[in-house]
Structure formats: structure tokens, C-alpha cells
Structure 1
Amino acid sequence: MRDRILDATAKLLVEHGTQASMSKIAGQAEVAIGSLYNHFASKEDLIRAVYERLAEEVTTLLVEGDDPAAAPEVRLERYLDNYIDFIWSDPERAILFEYLSNVPLLPAEDVIVSFRGSSDFIGDILQSLRDAGWLMHGDLFLMGGFIGGAIRNTLKWNRTYGRDLTVADRTQIKTMCLH
């Protein structure tokens, strides 16, 4: 039931923002309003749970197949593949991620805490690349944000134009992020 409520909330947040009422969310989830409040005391708690679930999904998918013993370049390439897969494989999740990134519904500190796992992960990879002498000089935080933003925006427009994502497209996106 909790997942149905979170799914409904995510859908309605993208469609209506925070204007979606708790009763509308309950209706979308096909649960009684009382059941919704049994799981979430307030709309803020519910929105926080949506962020946390999305952040957990992001982190889980980005670290999938990672081998900390592998060369940093190999780890970065895996990360890029995983990020592309994360954004491309589920259009609705990608829209939710984009929406929550652009219209923060929680205080910045809460969003930072929720997404710390994925931020720390790319930060560690970039630091390893720097330590290996492979990475240009610059702020690692900016680089991590640039990579994620570039992938999300490129795939958003690719999808908007109704284009398929080819192997050549994936390779080009990764190459642009690597150089």
C-alpha cells in the first residue's frame, strides 16, 4: 500500500505540483484517506518519502555493477552507463527526477541529505580519477553536477523529439562526459 501511495504522489506531483490534495492522492492510490494518514502524518512527510525513495533508486542504480577495485576510468564509464540507463529506462521517473530537481519541494538541506549517497558516489569516482592524474583540475562538485545535468538534459530533449536512443548516441553522450 505504501508503494501505491508513493507512486500516486509522484504522478500527481509532476502533474499538479503541491496543489494535489491528500484526498486526491488517496483516490489516485485507491486507498482510504485514513490509510494514507496511517502511513504519512502530513503532505510534507509524504513528499519527503517520495524524495527518499527516488534518491534510494538513483543510488542503487548508479552503483550497480561498480567494482571499487577497478580502474577509475572503468568505474566512471560504468557510472555513465548506469546514469543513462536510469534516465532513459523509465520516462516517468526521469520526469519526476527532473521536476524534483528543478522545483524543490523540501528545504535544500533535506534534499542534500536524501541524495547524499549518489553525490558521494560520483565524488569518490572523480577524486579517484584526479588521484590517478586522469582528471582535469577543477571543482569536483561542479564536475559531478555537470555530468548528471548534461545526461538528463540531453536525454530529455532526445525523448521530447521522439528519438530513439541508439548505441551511437549512448557512446557520444559518454564521450562528451569523458572529455
Structure 2
Amino acid sequence: MREKILEATAAMLVAHGTQASMSKIAQRAGVATGSLYNHFANKDVLIRAVYDDLATVMAHALTAGDDLSDPALVRLERYIDNHIDFMWQDADRAVLFEYLSNVPLLPGADVMASFQKSSSFIASVLQQLQDEGGCIAGDAGVMGGFIGGAIRNTLKWQRAQGTPLSDETRAQLREMCLRSVCV
């Protein structure tokens, strides 16, 4: 039931923003409004759970196939490809991520806590690449944020234009991300 509620809340946030009432969320989830409160004390707690759920799914997707024994460049390429796939595969999820990123419903520290795993992962890959001499000097966290933002924003406009994601565009996006941080 918790998953149904989280999915319904995410869908309602995409469709209606924070104007979605608890009763409408319950209706969308197919549960009684009281059931929402059995799982989530209030709407703020529910929205925090949506952040946490999205962050968990995202971290799993972005780290899929990672192998610590691979060179950092290979790990970064895999991360970029995973990020492209994650943002392209589910338009509603991409909109939810965009909405939650641009309409901060939680204090910044809470958002950062939710996304700590994926943020730490890319920062560690980029730090490894710096240590191997293959990355520009600088804050690895800033570089990771730049790469993620570039991917999300580019794919947002691909969708808005109704342009499919071709293999050529995917390769171009990967190359641009790599060139932004690699020496």
C-alpha cells in the first residue's frame, strides 16, 4: 500500500503540483484518506517520502553495472549512459525530478540527504578520474552536478520538441559530458 501511495503522490505532483490534496492522492491510490495518515503523518512527510523513493530508484539506476576495478573513465561513461537512460525512459519520472528540483518542497539539506548516495557516487568516480590524471581539477561534486544537469536539461528539451533520442544524439550528449570534465 505504501508503494501505491507513493506512486499516486508522484503522479499527482506531476499533474497538479503541491495543490494535490491528500484526499485526491488517496483517491488516485485507491485507498481511504485515513490510510494515508496510517503511513504518513502529513503531506510534508509524504512528499519527503516521494523524494526519498525517487532518490533510491535513481541511485540504483545510476550505479547499475558499476565495477570498482574498472578505470574511472569507463565508470564515468557508464554513469553518463545510465543517467541518460534513467531520464529518458520515464517522462513522468523526469518531470517529477525536474519539479522537485525546481520547486523545493524541502529544505536544501533534506534534499541533499535524500540524494546523497548518487551525489557521493559520481563525486567519487570523478575524484578517481582526477587521481588518475584524466579529469580537470576542481570540486568533483560541482562537476557531477554539472553533468547531471546537462543531461536532464538536454533531454527535457528533446522531449519538449518531440524529438526522439537517437543513438547519434545519445553519443553526442555522452561526448559533451566527457569533454566538460576530462583532460
Tell me if both proteins adopt one fold, taking TM over 0.5 as the criterion.
Answer: yes
What interval of TM-score do these two structures reach, taking the shorter chain for normalisation? Answer: over 0.9
Distance in 1 between residues matched to 2:137 and 2:66, nearest whole Å: 24
Distance in 2 between residues matched to 1:45 and 1:64, nearest whole Å: 29
Shift of residue 12, structure 1, vs aligned partner: 1.2
The TM-score normalised by the length of structure 1 is 0.98
Shift of residue 28, structure 1, vs aligned partner: 1.1
1:136 paired residue number: 136
Shift of residue 14, structure 1, vs aligned partner: 1.9
Distance in 1 between residues matched to 2:163 and 2:138, nearest whole Å: 34
Distance in 1 between residues matched to 2:140 and 2:176, nearest whole Å: 17
Shift of residue 150, structure 1, vs aligned partner: 0.3
Contact 2:158 2:165 in 1 (8 A): yes
1:11 paired residue number: 11
The TM-score normalised by the length of structure 2 is 0.96
Distance in 1 between residues matched to 2:60 and 2:104, nearest whole Å: 22
Deviation track 1:104-150 (CA, whole Å, cap 9, x = no partner) reads 10111111110000000000000000000000122222211110000
Letter matched to residue 51 of structure 1: Y
2:45 paired residue number: 45
1:26 paired residue number: 26
Distance in 1 between residues matched to 2:138 and 2:124, nearest whole Å: 15
* Matched residue SS, 1:135: coil
2:106 paired residue number: 106
- When structure 1 is superposed on structure 2, of 139-148 and 73-82 the one drifting more is 139-148
Provide the aligned C-alpha RMSD in A.
0.8
The answer as to 2:74 corresponding to 1:65 is no
Give ranges in structure 2 of 5+ residues lacking alignment. none
1:145 paired residue number: 145
Letter matched to residue 34 of structure 2: G
Deviation track 1:85-108 (CA, whole Å, cap 9, x = no partner) reads 000001100100111111110111
Distance in 2 between residues matched to 1:35 and 1:139, nearest whole Å: 45
2:163 paired residue number: 163
Distance in 2 between residues matched to 1:110 and 1:13, nearest whole Å: 18
* Matched residue SS, 2:16: helix
* Matched residue SS, 2:68: coil
2:115 paired residue number: 115
